[in-house]
Amino acid sequence: MLCSNKFSHSSGSLLSAVMAGVIALSIGCAERPAPVSAADSQQDRSPAAVATGVSSENTTPAPLTDVVVGTWLGQATLDEVALEQKLAQLPADEQERVFVIAENFLSTLMAMDVRNDGTIESEIEMQPMGDRPIRDSTVGQWQATQIDNDQLAVELEELAADDSTVITKRSFRFYPDRNAFVMSVPIPAELEGCQAMMIFERQSAVANVAERQETEQR
């Protein structure tokens, strides 16, 4: 069982710090299709790729439990063509309802800071159509439960804003370069068949931004 005495409430600034460190966000269906197995893709053998754990001829890949450590920014994506085809088959009133669900899903952003001491902090934001943004943050513990090639299964024990403890199981499926992964999340039933997913990209400049902001506040 994961230890819960390390819980503390998030400062609520993780997503802001991540966004401040992002110059250009290149997450999307066209740029990042669903990952295929590393065994079926040509590995990137550049020094940068090796540093992130991708194998080269004379190196061993870093374990995914090391690769996942860092700050990540996730965005919801889906196959717009599949969505259009689904909408075309629905009555007009259903088209509008499903369209709103899709737009709300696509507005979702999530920042996640995974640390090598077993702690994790996350913040999620959604912008519902015609309404104010919804934001929630959690802090807690993470533990790897299974590793299968490019897929890492974890158990999260997090403390929500209302002081309730939430235990969830998540699966991270990494791209061959190991600088991005798809996280398993609940998908609205109305978006089935639209390849709806959350794709996370590694954020390399975030730590410096957050450290600088903390220094300026002192």
Of the candidates 217, 172, 203, 186, the one whose C-alpha atom is nearest the C-alpha of residue 72 is: 203
- Do residues 150 and 38 lie in contact, with contact meaning Cβ atoms separated by under 8 Å? yes
User: What is residue 44's predicted lDDT score, i.e. its pLDDT?
Assistant: 45
Which residue carries 């390399």 as its tokens? 204
User: What is residue 151's predicted lDDT score, i.e. its pLDDT?
Assistant: 97
Written as six digits, the tokens of 127 are 């912008």
User: What is residue 91's predicted lDDT score, i.e. its pLDDT?
Assistant: 96
User: What is residue 159's predicted lDDT score, i.e. its pLDDT?
Assistant: 81
Give the span between the Cα atoms of 72 and 53, in whole angstroms: 16
Angle between helix axes 80-88 and 92-106 (nearest 10 degrees) is: 160
User: What is residue 41's predicted lDDT score, i.e. its pLDDT?
Assistant: 43
Which residue carries 């998908």 as its tokens? 187
User: What is residue 108's predicted lDDT score, i.e. its pLDDT?
Assistant: 95
pTM beyond cutoff 0.75? no
Of the candidates 10, 202, 14, 9, the one whose C-alpha atom is nearest the C-alpha of residue 125 is: 14
Q: Mind listing the pLDDT tens digit for each residue in 180-209? A: 999 988 899 999 999 999 999 999 754 444
Q: Other C-beta atoms within 10 Å of 147: how many? A: 13
Residue type, 112: M
Give the span between the Cα atoms of 156 and 69, in whole angstroms: 14
Cross-strand bridge partners of residue 122: 112, 138
Residues of the chain falling short of pLDDT 70: 1-58, 205-218
